[in-house]
């Protein structure tokens, strides 16, 4: 079904020099020539084994695409597919307004660094049409996006269509983000990770955010959320989307709040709706909507150790309290569904009442909101709108599994998208680790996408290094879960790296790792000399003695017919032994535990 066609030249042509993680990495393509679909992959080239046997290149799922030049943006690769469906049209769009970039822009009369690059003309569904991947899937239609995803996941095309149709997976693909490479989020597929970036009222710039996008995608972020809350929100997002090969998510209430100068009580459905349309036209692929924070749930948080920690959740809770009215996101939810269906924007139903400490985990407020998110999932599906459901947060290890199993049951398998969860509150500065432990556990039981946490969580805004650390840490969690789930081929890269390790192919150990640069730096700290990269020993044991070498001797001695016999014999012995109850038969010790 797919032919592998490496295209090394492609790289030099258009991608920035820093696209690849390592010199041994090359941009390659998996192609489906019959349907004109091709998916970029990273091809890791390996050295020969000591015996001279070649090692086939390892192909790695790639989120960077071919890379882009920030001022130009990416080519609108999906534009043809979207147009060919002939169910969308360009129209007199809302366009950008000065207030969209915040009060500072209004004062200055312009945002800083207006986007000058390539920009597709905004489209939306023709009257009465639904243009979502779920709609096509339910009609039994195979879209190029589905083909692309199947090729990318190396899975069956019908699996993609049926999971999307059932709502158990989503392909976030706004018709106004034709630059994006289709990807799928669902428990039947590889576990995905999201990276959050965004400037704030306190710090950072447009250039920073675009470079964080490139950086996050280079290290493997599958989607990116722009959580900007400061100046130039609209223009920052424009730069990000035009350069994004991955789906972009936002939390529209953040920008709406900026438009009313941070006064939650002044928010209205009209301001929110207008902001959503602004973002639909720009090409945001999924939006976090805190429609499950109902007035009657708010009191449930009063006795918590950490109350409401979700920004969007507390905005809506504050609004509900101030007006003594029901959450307008809930009361206008169907109208929101109609808008999303016209652009194929997916819901990320926000968990505004998620616990902010392990003490508040799995409490009445959290689960009451989940019940409402299940209701909203069905209402969105009634409009053929794609949905994921957001999850916590801070949860002790033994209470994590219940979260995903309960969400999957209540929401009929809609993809779960969780932040961590953090399994302890006592490690500020290390919450990428406390949360990766919980993330691996929750993904193992069916969470489809993990929102990363950086070392700066709870303390400050992530810089480039933090973004990289967060992404790599979450690639570990997602990959460990793929292996635990028995995902087909998930351990191929592990096995290739372990073989390289056993054969002292140091450079291959680096290039097969999630972070070749750091691995090589650490190695060179102890053994800087180039020969050490091929040395048949390492700093742990030194040149005189090496366990790997003895293993090689053993293999030379026993890696043979007689070995097979010996091994078969041992295995039989061991099986008999276990069959017999796995107890070791010994004379009871004269002094034993029984005398304790």
Q: What is the widest separation between alpha-carbon atoms in the chain?
A: 92
| The one among 122, 167, 186, 391 contacting its own copies by CB under 8 A | 167
SS3 451: strand
Least separation in angstroms between CB 309 and its own copies: 6
- When asked if residue 544 is in the footprint of its own copies (CB under 8 A), the reply is yes
- When asked if residue 158 is in the footprint of its own copies (CB under 8 A), the reply is no
| The one among 314, 403, 407, 408 contacting its own copies by CB under 8 A | 314
Residues of this chain, 198-217, that bind its own copies according to CB under 8 A: 200-203
Least separation in angstroms between CB 587 and its own copies: 9
How many residues interact with its own copies (rule CB under 8 A)?
Answer: 157
- When asked if residue 128 is in the footprint of its own copies (CB under 8 A), the reply is no
- When asked if residue 479 is in the footprint of its own copies (CB under 8 A), the reply is yes
| Whole-number Å distance between alpha carbons of 145 and 164 | 11
Q: What are phi and psi of 222, to 5 degrees?
A: -85, -30
- When asked if residue 391 is in the footprint of its own copies (CB under 8 A), the reply is no
**Closest CB to its own copies among residues 287, 337:** 337
SS3 209: helix
| The one among 17, 56, 529, 540 contacting its own copies by CB under 8 A | 540
DSSP per residue, 244-267? -SS-EEE-HHHHHHHHTTT-GGG-
Tell me if 330 is assigned to a ligand binding site.
no
Do the Cβ atoms of 37 and 31 come closer than 8 Å?
yes
- When asked if residue 17 is in the footprint of its own copies (CB under 8 A), the reply is no
Do the Cβ atoms of 139 and 103 come closer than 8 Å?
no
Element (H, E) at 469: helix 464-484
| The one among 81, 148, 297, 347 contacting its own copies by CB under 8 A | 297
Stretches 108-116, 271-279, 282-290, 354-362: which one binds its own copies (CB under 8 A)? 354-362
Stretches 85-93, 145-153, 328-336, 370-378: which one binds its own copies (CB under 8 A)? 370-378
| Whole-number Å distance between alpha carbons of 103 and 437 | 41
Residues of this chain, 230-289, that bind its own copies according to CB under 8 A: 230, 257, 261-262, 264
| The one among 126, 378, 464, 536 contacting its own copies by CB under 8 A | 378
**Closest CB to its own copies among residues 100, 281:** 100
| Whole-number Å distance between alpha carbons of 226 and 258 | 15
- DSSP lists the bridge partners of residue 25 as 44
Which residues have CB under 8 Å from 329's CB, separation 6+?
253, 272, 289, 290, 291, 293, 316, 336
| Whole-number Å distance between alpha carbons of 426 and 434 | 9
Alpha-carbon distance values, 451 to 326, 396, 477, 572 (Å):
29, 17, 11, 46
Tell me if 337 is assigned to a ligand binding site.
no
| The one among 94, 270, 305, 326 contacting its own copies by CB under 8 A | 305
Element (H, E) at 82: helix 79-85
Which residues have CB under 8 Å from 46's CB, separation 6+?
24, 55, 56, 57, 58, 496, 500, 505, 508, 511, 512
Residues of this chain, 516-535, that bind its own copies according to CB under 8 A: 518-519, 521-523, 525-527
| The one among 2, 55, 162, 362 contacting its own copies by CB under 8 A | 162
Which residues have CB under 8 Å from 443's CB, separation 6+?
191, 450, 477, 478, 481
Residues of this chain, 488-507, that bind its own copies according to CB under 8 A: 491, 493-495, 497-499, 501-502
Least separation in angstroms between CB 596 and its own copies: 3
- When asked if residue 555 is in the footprint of its own copies (CB under 8 A), the reply is yes
| The one among 218, 259, 444, 533 contacting its own copies by CB under 8 A | 444
- When asked if residue 406 is in the footprint of its own copies (CB under 8 A), the reply is yes
- When asked if residue 511 is in the footprint of its own copies (CB under 8 A), the reply is no
Residues of this chain, 448-467, that bind its own copies according to CB under 8 A: 455-456, 458-461, 463
| Whole-number Å distance between alpha carbons of 291 and 288 | 9
**Closest CB to its own copies among residues 4, 558:** 558
| The one among 55, 83, 476, 487 contacting its own copies by CB under 8 A | 476
Element (H, E) at 439: helix 431-444
Among 292, 322, 318, which residue's Cα sits nearest to residue 307?
318
- When asked if residue 481 is in the footprint of its own copies (CB under 8 A), the reply is yes
Instruction: Tell me, residue by residue from 57 to 96, as one string, x for binding to its own copies by CB under 8 A and - for no binding.
Output: ----------------------------------------
- Binding residues for [4Fe-4S] cluster, by number, are 538, 541, 546
- Binding residues, by number, are 196, 225, 254, 290, 310-312, 351-354, 390, 394, 417, 458, 538, 541, 546
């Amino acid at each position: 079904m797919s032919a592998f066609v490496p295209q090394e030249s492609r790289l030099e042509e258009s991608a920035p020099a820093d696209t690849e993680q390592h010199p041994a990495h090359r941009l390659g393509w998996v192609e489906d020539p019959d349907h004109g679909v091709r998916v970029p992959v990273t091809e890791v080239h390996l050295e020969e084994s000591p015996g001279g046997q070649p090692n086939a290149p390892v192909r790695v799922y790639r989120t960077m695409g071919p890379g882009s030049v920030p001022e130009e943006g990416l080519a609108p690769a999906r534009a043809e597919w979207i147009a060919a469906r002939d169910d969308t049209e360009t129209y007199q769009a809302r366009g950008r307004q000065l207030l969209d970039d915040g009060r500072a822009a209004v004062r200055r009369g312009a945002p800083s660094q207006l986007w000058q690059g390539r920009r597709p003309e905004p489209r939306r569904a023709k009257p009465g049409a639904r243009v979502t991947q779920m709609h096509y899937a339910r009609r039994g239609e195979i879209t190029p996006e589905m083909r692309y995803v199947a090729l990318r996941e190396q899975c069956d095309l019908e699996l993609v269509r049926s999971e999307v149709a059932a709502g158990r997976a989503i392909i976030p693909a706004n018709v106004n983000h034709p630059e994006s490479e289709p990807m799928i989020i669902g428990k039947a597929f590889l576990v995905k990770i999201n990276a959050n970036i965004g400037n704030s009222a306190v710090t950072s710039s447009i250039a920073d955010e675009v470079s964080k996008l490139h950086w996050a995608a280079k290290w493997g972020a599958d989607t990116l959320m722009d959580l900007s809350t400061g100046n130039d929100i609209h223009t920052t997002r424009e730069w990000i989307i035009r350069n994004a090969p991955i789906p972009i998510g936002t939390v529209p209430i953040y920008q709406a709040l900026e438009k009313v100068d941070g006064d939650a009580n002044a928010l209205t459905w009209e301001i929110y709706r207008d902001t959503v349309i602004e973002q639909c036209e720009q090409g945001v692929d999924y939006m976090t909507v805190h429609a499950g924070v109902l007035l009657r749930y708010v009191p449930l948080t009063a006795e918590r150790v950490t109350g409401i920690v979700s920004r969007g959740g507390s905005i809506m809770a504050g609004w509900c309290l101030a007006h003594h009215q029901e959450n307008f996101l809930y009361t206008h939810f169907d109208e929101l569904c109609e808008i999303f269906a016209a652009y194929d924007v997916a819901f990320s139903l926000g968990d505004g009442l998620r616990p902010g400490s392990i003490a508040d985990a799995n409490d009445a407020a959290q689960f009451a909101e989940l019940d409402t998110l299940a209701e909203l999932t069905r209402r969105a599906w009634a409009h053929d709108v794609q949905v994921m459901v957001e999850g916590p947060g801070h949860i002790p290890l033994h209470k994590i599994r219940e979260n995903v199993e309960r969400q999957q049951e209540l929401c009929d398998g809609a993809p779960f998208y969780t932040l961590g969860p953090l399994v302890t509150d006592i490690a500020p500065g290390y919450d990428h680790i406390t949360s990766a432990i919980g993330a691996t556990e929750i993904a193992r039981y069916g969470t489809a996408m993990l929102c990363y946490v950086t070392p700066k969580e709870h303390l400050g805004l992530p810089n480039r290094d933090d973004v990289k650390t967060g992404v790599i840490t979450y690639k570990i969690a997602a990959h460990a879960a793929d292996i635990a789930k028995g995902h087909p081929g998930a351990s191929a890269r592990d096995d290739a790296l372990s073989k390289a390790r056993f054969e002292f192919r140091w450079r291959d150990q680096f290039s097969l790792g999630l972070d070749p640069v750091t691995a090589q730096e650490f190695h060179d700290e102890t053994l800087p000399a180039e020969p050490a990269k091929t040395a048949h020993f390492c700093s742990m044991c030194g040149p005189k003695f090496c366990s790997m070498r003895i293993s090689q001797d053993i293999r030379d001695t026993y890696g043979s017919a007689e070995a097979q016999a010996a091994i078969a014999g041992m295995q039989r012995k061991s099986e008999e032994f276990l069959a017999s109850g796995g107890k070791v038969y010994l004379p009871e010790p004269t002094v034993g535990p029984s005398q304790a």
